[in-house]
Chain A
Amino acid sequence: MKKTILTLVITMLAALATAQNAKVPENITIKTLDGKTVETSIIQNNGKPIIISFWATWCKPCNRELNAIKEVYEEWQEETGVKLVAISIDDTRSASKVKPHVDGNGWEYEVYLDQNQDFKRAMNVVNVPHTFLLNGKGEIVWQHTSYVDGSEEELFELVKKIANGEEI
């Protein structure tokens, strides 16, 4: 019986969904680094591409990725207008270290806290790092889990295509 219900629900959901690219949910509650509650609709970039990166202070590959992009972020922004939004999934154990961590590493990204992991769940993030690329319309056009040194160059190739309005 349970299986039957499951089948019904899944087929119904599949039929409900339309084929266009998924967007980032706009009504999930996250926090700024100084404690202000905001909604995910705050993630905007005036029609330019956006990178959303889920990370944690304790995650070594995440830190390598964000440090590597830091070196080239200014060039990326000048060339494509891209904005990187870093979503920390740290819980109470390390959430209060996020702001010191971000400043100490000299990151100039827009950073938000997702302590209750509502945003992480809504975006189906399983492992960190998990990176999403959004086009100017806010549609998710690419996503990737894991970071290996140098893969930020590949990400930038995609950002450039998106900024030029090409399909990827």
Chain B
Amino acid sequence: MSRKAIKLVAIALILNFQFSIINSLQAQGILGGHVTGNIQFDGQISRRDSVIGSDNVPEKLLSNARADILYTNGNFSAGLRYEAYLNPLLGFNSQYTGQGIANYFVSYKTQTFAVTAGHFYEQFGNGMTLRAYEDRFLGIDNAIRGLNVTYRPWNGVTLKGLVGQQRYYWDTRGLVRGLDAEISLNDIVSNWNESKTRLTLGGSFVSKYEGDETILSDISGYKLNLPLNVGAASVRMDLAHGGFGLQAEYARKGQDPSIMNNYIYKNGEALWLSASYSQKGLSANIQAKRVDNMGFKSVRSVSGEMLYINYTPSITKQHTYAFLSMYPYATQSTGEMGLQCDFIYKFKKESLFGGKYGTDIHLNASLITGLDTTVIGGKGTDGYTSSFFGTGDTYYGDISLEVAKKLSNKVKCTATYGYMIFNPIVEGHEGDIHHNHILVGDVTWKINRKNVIRFEAEWMASDSKYDAAIDDKRAGDWIMGLVEYNFTSNWFVSFSDQYAYNDGIGNYYNISIGYTKGATRLQVGYGKQREGIICIGGVCRQVPASNGLTFSLTTSF
């Protein structure tokens, strides 16, 4: 018998053995539980097009696939994830190329105690010291492989501890240890139980270890004395009283020279504040943030989006209309200041501005600047000093007003105006700040229960001009139209076109057809697409840049 045949027989025997054990255990009522999962497949067949910058794709077909399988039985659960990038879609790092089991875990969880071994995702507070997370459509996965324990000694007290290494494409790197404590005062102070005011306090400490390496300082050429253990700590609070809410977190990080901060020894610091008031039909929220040298990665020499231990999110609004989200802002973890305000108001039915069905207004504004810094040296020094309240260059700003109105039982409209300023320096280019005015109209017409049409028109006037040297394909003045027809409640077809009518280049046309049944969704598209969030056919998802045929399947079971 050949080796292969022996292997097959062995597998068959093991399977048979497995089934008989399982059957007997099930018959005795010992086993049970549920298997659930989800499958995703995304493929692209690319056409070359130098105008929109899609590279020549020698393999013609690119695909990302993944399957998660979860087994749950009472307090016990286990999971396995298979991923295949053959080869990865445009916009995904080529280091993903390959296939295999990317994630596995077993977990046992009761009300007071939980333990997970294997890959896990975790967040301490707002994530300023630690956030292991994934975004499958962006190709980010910072899962930690190791041990994660949660313990609740008393109601209202949560303690977490973890140790592990972080996922780096198909490998794990670094060493991360973390502790977190959260106390809900209303649950532990007996007579606060019924109080309308809720106060939750928390704190965390995270440390990473990495062996020594040779990095030379700028001036003398000496080898830098690198810290092998780097710690970060934070304190936080969450106060709620009726419609009022106040949240704050402050984090500090020890000396952490890395490729991100050009190997300087300055301590890191971050502060985040959020205050809000809301009642039915009215709400206001204001957020402020200051981040200074707070990039925290488990490997000091790796740039890019992998291996981040912490998370300092952008506080700007997540826009989903194409032109409003054309220049997305990403946090500059080396340093920035930010302020954001959000206001929602509902004009009641039968009021002056409300009309028959009421009118919704949503106003949002944000401004992000650099820090006011003074350079004191290069590699091996503290790098710079910064004043706490001082601001530097403007990085990004936007203001948007959205008015939504139901005109009749069949027709709903939304009109949006946005003004945006964007400094190309945040993407690493020198150049003038862009100023963009954007108008969006969005009309949904429900002909009847089985037939719904949505129209979207967008216009963007910009002072930016296309420059072949920089090759920013978003520059110039643009118009866009989109028609989406949903029929039989399962099918949709959409057509959209973005066209640079002045100072820009490109014509992004796309036709998509989709079918949704239950938790299964299939979509096929043809055309040119920018990367970004797209909301068509009733869902929103991040899509990579593409040119040619795309298909996407997701299902849950």
> Which residues of A come within 8 Å of B, CB atoms?
2, 4, 6-18, 22-23, 25, 27, 29, 33-37, 39, 56-62, 64, 91-97, 99-106, 115-118, 121-130, 142-151, 153-154
Verify if B510 is at the interface (C-beta below 8 Å from A). Answer: no
Q: Which of A15, A34, A36, A99 contacts B22 (CB 8 A)?
A: A15
Residue of B nearest to A20 (CB): B34
Minimum C-beta distance from B74 to chain A (A): 9
Q: Which of B23, B281, B446, B449 contacts A106 (CB 8 A)?
A: B281
Q: Which of B71, B109, B158 contacts A16 (CB 8 A)?
A: B71
Complex contact B11–A7 (CB within 8 A): yes
Complex contact B452–A150 (CB within 8 A): yes
Q: Which of A17, A34, A93 contacts B35 (CB 8 A)?
A: A17
Verify if B97 is at the interface (C-beta below 8 Å from A). Answer: no
The CA of A33 and the CA of B521, in the complex, are separated in Å by 31
Verify if B537 is at the interface (C-beta below 8 Å from A). Answer: yes
The CA of A6 and the CA of B11, in the complex, are separated in Å by 12
Q: A27-B110, A61-B535, A145-B539 are in contact. Are A101 and B71 (CB under 8 A)?
A: no
Q: A9-B80, A92-B126, A99-B276 are in contact. Are A16 and B70 (CB under 8 A)?
A: no
The CA of A124 and the CA of B136, in the complex, are separated in Å by 13
Residue of A nearest to B484 (CB): A148
Q: Which of A36, A58, A103 contacts B278 (CB 8 A)?
A: A103
The CA of A142 and the CA of B150, in the complex, are separated in Å by 32
The CA of A35 and the CA of B72, in the complex, are separated in Å by 27
Residues of B within 8 A of A126 (CB): 38, 40, 136, 554, 556
Highest count of chain B CB atoms <10 Å: which of A16, A56, A105: A16
Minimum C-beta distance from B196 to chain A (A): 10
Complex contact A100–B537 (CB within 8 A): no
The CA of A153 and the CA of B446, in the complex, are separated in Å by 13
Which B312-352 residues have C-beta < 8 A from chain A? 313-315, 317-320, 342, 344-346
The CA of A33 and the CA of B200, in the complex, are separated in Å by 12
Residues of A within 8 A of B518 (CB): 142-145
Complex contact A105–B346 (CB within 8 A): yes
Interface pairs A-B: 6 shortest CB-CB: A104-B344, A146-B538, A100-B283, A103-B278, A104-B283, A34-B240
Verify if B540 is at the interface (C-beta below 8 Å from A). Answer: yes
Residues of A within 8 A of B22 (CB): 12, 15-16
> Which residues of B come within 8 Å of A, CB atoms?
7, 11, 14-15, 18-19, 22-23, 26, 31-38, 40, 68-73, 75, 77, 80, 82, 100-101, 109-111, 114, 121-123, 126-127, 131, 133, 136, 150, 158, 182, 184, 186-187, 198, 200, 238, 240, 243, 245, 247, 274, 276-285, 287, 311, 313-315, 317-320, 342, 344-346, 360, 362, 412, 444, 446, 448-450, 452, 486, 489, 492, 516, 518-521, 533, 535, 537-541, 554, 556-557
Complex contact B344–A16 (CB within 8 A): no
The CA of A37 and the CA of B281, in the complex, are separated in Å by 26
The CA of A53 and the CA of B72, in the complex, are separated in Å by 21
The CA of A58 and the CA of B321, in the complex, are separated in Å by 10
**Interface on chain A toward B: helix, strand, loop, or mixed SS?**
mixed
Would you give 28 A-B contacts (Cβ < 8 Å), ordered by A? Answer: A2-B101, A4-B7, A6-B82, A12-B18, A17-B71, A27-B109, A27-B114, A35-B238, A36-B187, A64-B444, A96-B276, A97-B276, A99-B245, A100-B277, A100-B284, A101-B283, A102-B278, A116-B122, A121-B70, A122-B70, A122-B72, A122-B77, A124-B70, A126-B556, A143-B519, A145-B518, A148-B492, A150-B489
The CA of A146 and the CA of B538, in the complex, are separated in Å by 4
Q: A58-B318, A93-B313, A144-B518 are in contact. Are A10 and B69 (CB under 8 A)?
A: yes
Residues of A within 8 A of B243 (CB): 103
Residues of B within 8 A of A125 (CB): 38, 556
Residues of A within 8 A of B33 (CB): 16-18
Residue of B nearest to A94 (CB): B318
Residues of A within 8 A of B100 (CB): 2
Complex contact A60–B240 (CB within 8 A): no
Residues of B within 8 A of A154 (CB): 449, 489
Complex contact B73–A16 (CB within 8 A): yes
Complex contact A127–B35 (CB within 8 A): no
Residues of B within 8 A of A142 (CB): 518
Residue of A nearest to B38 (CB): A124
The CA of A11 and the CA of B198, in the complex, are separated in Å by 48
Residues of B within 8 A of A103 (CB): 243, 278-283
Q: A92-B311, A100-B276 are in contact. Are A25 and B245 (CB under 8 A)?
A: no
Complex contact A127–B540 (CB within 8 A): yes
Complex contact A148–B35 (CB within 8 A): no
Minimum C-beta distance from A6 to chain B (A): 7
Complex contact B35–A117 (CB within 8 A): no
The CA of A46 and the CA of B279, in the complex, are separated in Å by 28
The CA of A149 and the CA of B408, in the complex, are separated in Å by 13
Complex contact B80–A96 (CB within 8 A): no
Residues of A within 8 A of B281 (CB): 103-104, 106
Minimum C-beta distance from A90 to chain B (A): 9
Complex contact A96–B36 (CB within 8 A): no
Minimum C-beta distance from B554 to chain A (A): 5
Q: Which of A12, A61, A99 contacts B538 (CB 8 A)?
A: A61
Residue of B nearest to A12 (CB): B18
Residues of B within 8 A of A149 (CB): 412, 444, 446, 452, 486
Q: Which of A7, A96, A118 contacts B287 (CB 8 A)?
A: A96
Complex contact A34–B540 (CB within 8 A): no
Complex contact B519–A130 (CB within 8 A): yes
The CA of A99 and the CA of B242, in the complex, are separated in Å by 11
The CA of A116 and the CA of B444, in the complex, are separated in Å by 33
Q: Which of B26, B111, B121 contacts A18 (CB 8 A)?
A: B26
The CA of A100 and the CA of B520, in the complex, are separated in Å by 32
Q: Which of A16, A17, A91 contacts B133 (CB 8 A)?
A: A91
The CA of A64 and the CA of B346, in the complex, are separated in Å by 15
Minimum C-beta distance from B19 to chain A (A): 6
Residue of B nearest to A18 (CB): B32
Residue of A nearest to B241 (CB): A34
Complex contact A145–B519 (CB within 8 A): yes
Given contacts A105-B360, A147-B538, list 15 more A-B pairs with CB under 8 A.
A2-B101, A11-B15, A11-B18, A36-B200, A61-B540, A93-B318, A99-B283, A103-B280, A103-B281, A106-B346, A124-B37, A127-B541, A144-B518, A146-B516, A149-B486
